[in-house]
Amino acid sequence: MFKILIVDDEEIERESMKQILNQAFESLTIIQASDGQEAVERTLSDQPDLVLMDIKMPGMSGLEAIKAIQAQGIKMNVVIVTAYDTFSFAKDAIKLGARDYLLKPSKISEIVETMGRIIDEIKETKLKMEESEKRRLTFEQSKRVMERDLVTQVLLDHVHDVEAEHLLELMEREVTEEMFCFVVVIEAHQSDVYPVLQNAIARLGDGFIGPLYRHQLPVICFRDERSYRQQATEVAKKLIKVLQHELKLPAVIGLGQPSTKLEEMKDSYQQAIIASMELRRTYAFSFYDDMKMSEHQCDIHYHTYLSGRFFDDIREADFREIKQQVDKILLCYEMEKFPVAEAKQKISQLIWMMGKTLEEVHISIEWEKYSFFATDYQALFEEVDVYFKELIANYNAFTEDKETDRMTQIKQYVMEHATEDLSLDVLASHVHLSPIYISKLFKEKLGVNYIEFLTTCRIKHAKRLLKADQLSIKEVAYEIGYHDPNYFSKVFKKFTGFSPKTYRAHRLVEQQ
């Protein structure tokens, strides 16, 4: 319904105008005000689409009412109603942004023509604004999906520069500033908490928010004018406050070191995980820089491996290398006569992190059920040996033939449903696998990331539709799953080298 406020101190004038408008136009809601003050109040409370304002009224004039409404920050569409002797006031109203004016008295045809034109203009403007807002929301949703994919690849896979650059270009983002990674580790699983947590983090600063998986939410945060320490502390404190008081969600936050290179964020992510492990209470945060590193050679070896090759060795399934490093660390502790209990704690930490990392790629080794009972180093070496033998056997049994079959099924599903809303998270829920595991499969089996494969499927379908020449380019965009034709055109040109319009023209010429 289109809402009009008629403002006039004479009731007969208001009723007459109401009758003219109701007879000439459909779907109108008409409200009235008898003076300038009431006009201000009704505009603020009822938010009309258009105000018909008489200039000359007792008390607050129409001109004063317009100024009072604008002073409240309200953008109003107003048509001035004026007699000949107040026409100079109408000129002042036009300067204040009035769309037009009507003279008293006016012919019905003049009123209908003027009002019809302005109503159409306002409706068209509202429609454009709504479409613009829809495009903005669609782009924001697409950007968040691409953010999650980028974080997943950068932190959990080896990403080629061209792939990262491609995603950043689609997001219309350049990464030139310093950044750091932090990890929110949630104690209790709540499936509906991700959107709330995502919005809370988005309000705290600029960055890329990853997927929530197995109680961990990684975030790449971009630096602002504050120092790294100041910014990271303030972000962590505010987020802890949200987690504790708004979400009632027990959690801790670990913060990694900053870097100017996106590819180095994996190191910052691993540091953030290590920092989160040092916390012994909820609603707390810890910097990797603040961890108390012992000057003892054994601890230096332990932390050097942990912040170096450890996570890469896990993802590459190089368990024999991990076992060798664990043996070296244990041997060092034994030679230096460290208490066995402390050595068990260090190795348990390694196994905990190994289990969490393997879970990211959908492999469970039941690390939570495993404990070391040894009371001397010889027994501890034997327990570690048994553990790694079981781990390697379980891993081999899990991966044998399964990944190839899974990849075939996933590819088929994506090709059949590529034109639908098929983000990595949506796909994961359909095939009952984790987003991170699916991302890993695409990288290892196909050599591309998921977004690139999905886009390739969509572009192939778009090519067929463009050749058929039955749909407009806008309709083709909607048909293959894009809500923004401009975004579709940009992606199409990125993948084919041609705009959709040029591609269609070339193919039609070839067919002739």
With H, G, I as helix, E, B as strand and everything else as coil, classify residue 366: coil
By the 8 A CB rule, do 211 and 230 touch? no
By the 8 A CB rule, do 224 and 231 touch? yes
The pLDDT tens digits for 32-89 are 999 999 999 999 999 999 999 998 888 898 889 999 998 998 888 999 888 765 566 6
Q: What percent of the chain has pLDDT over 90?
A: 22
Spatial CB neighbours of 182, under 8 Å, sequence gap ≥ 6: 218, 219, 221, 232, 235, 236, 253, 254, 255, 256, 272, 285
Is residue 272 scored above 60 in pLDDT? yes
User: What is the average pLDDT across 156-185?
Assistant: 70
DSSP string, 234-287: HHHHHHHHIIIIIS---EEEEE---BS-GGGHHHHHHHHHHHHHT--SSSEEEE
pLDDT of residue 371: 65
With H, G, I as helix, E, B as strand and everything else as coil, classify residue 217: strand
- The one-character DSSP state at 467 is H
By the 8 A CB rule, do 151 and 450 touch? no
Is residue 18 scored above 90 in pLDDT? yes
Q: Which two tokens stand for residue 351?
A: 């196994």
The pLDDT tens digits for 279-289 are 767 788 999 88
Is residue 509 scored above 90 in pLDDT? no
Q: Which CATH class is domain 2-106?
A: alpha beta
Helices (H), 61-213: 62-71, 87-95, 108-156, 161-170, 194-204
pLDDT of residue 132: 84
pLDDT of residue 5: 96
DSSP string, 14-71: HHHHHHHHHHH-SSEEEEEESSHHHHHHHHHHH--SEEEEES--SSS-HHHHHHHHHH
Is residue 370 scored above 80 in pLDDT? no
- Confidence band, pLDDT 50/70/90 cuts, at residue 231: very high
pLDDT of residue 162: 40
Q: What are phi and psi of 88, to 5 degrees?
A: -65, -30
Give me the torsion for CA of 143, 149, 154, 156, rounded to 10°: 150
Residue predicted with more confidence, 250 or 437: 250
The pLDDT tens digits for 419-437 are 888 888 788 878 877 777 7
What rounded mean pLDDT belongs to the chain? 82
The pLDDT tens digits for 371-385 are 677 888 888 898 888
User: What is the average pLDDT across 324-336?
Assistant: 85
pLDDT of residue 30: 95
- The one-character DSSP state at 226 is S
Kind and range of the H or E run holding 464? helix 450-468
Spatial CB neighbours of 445, under 8 Å, sequence gap ≥ 6: 403, 404, 407
Is residue 124 scored above 60 in pLDDT? yes
Is residue 269 scored above 70 in pLDDT? yes
Q: Which two tokens stand for residue 148?
A: 């999650």
Residue predicted with more confidence, 476 or 142: 476
Sequence spans of domains, the chain: 2-106, 175-290, 297-399
Output the CATH code of domain 175-290: 3.30.70.270
Q: Which two tokens stand for residue 218?
A: 């990684």
Give buried/exposed letters for 428-463 (b at 16+ CB in 10 A, else e). beeeebbbbbbbbbbbeeeeebbbbbbbebbbebbb
Residue predicted with more confidence, 162 or 456: 456
Is residue 319 scored above 80 in pLDDT? yes
For residues 283 and 242, give the distance between their C-alpha atoms in angstroms, rounded to a whole number.
Answer: 10
Closest CA to 431 of 458, 167, 423: 423
Give buried/exposed letters for 41-75 (b at 16+ CB in 10 A, else e). ebbeeeebbbbbbbbbbeebbbbbbbbbbeeeeee
pLDDT of residue 161: 40
Is residue 310 scored above 70 in pLDDT? yes
User: What is the average pLDDT across 306-321?
Assistant: 78
Q: Which two tokens stand for residue 38?
A: 């009431």
The pLDDT tens digits for 492-508 are 998 888 898 888 887 75
The pLDDT tens digits for 128-144 are 898 888 887 777 777 77
Q: What percent of the chain has pLDDT over 70?
A: 86
State pTM to two decimals.
Answer: 0.50
The pLDDT tens digits for 204-225 are 878 888 888 667 889 999 888 8
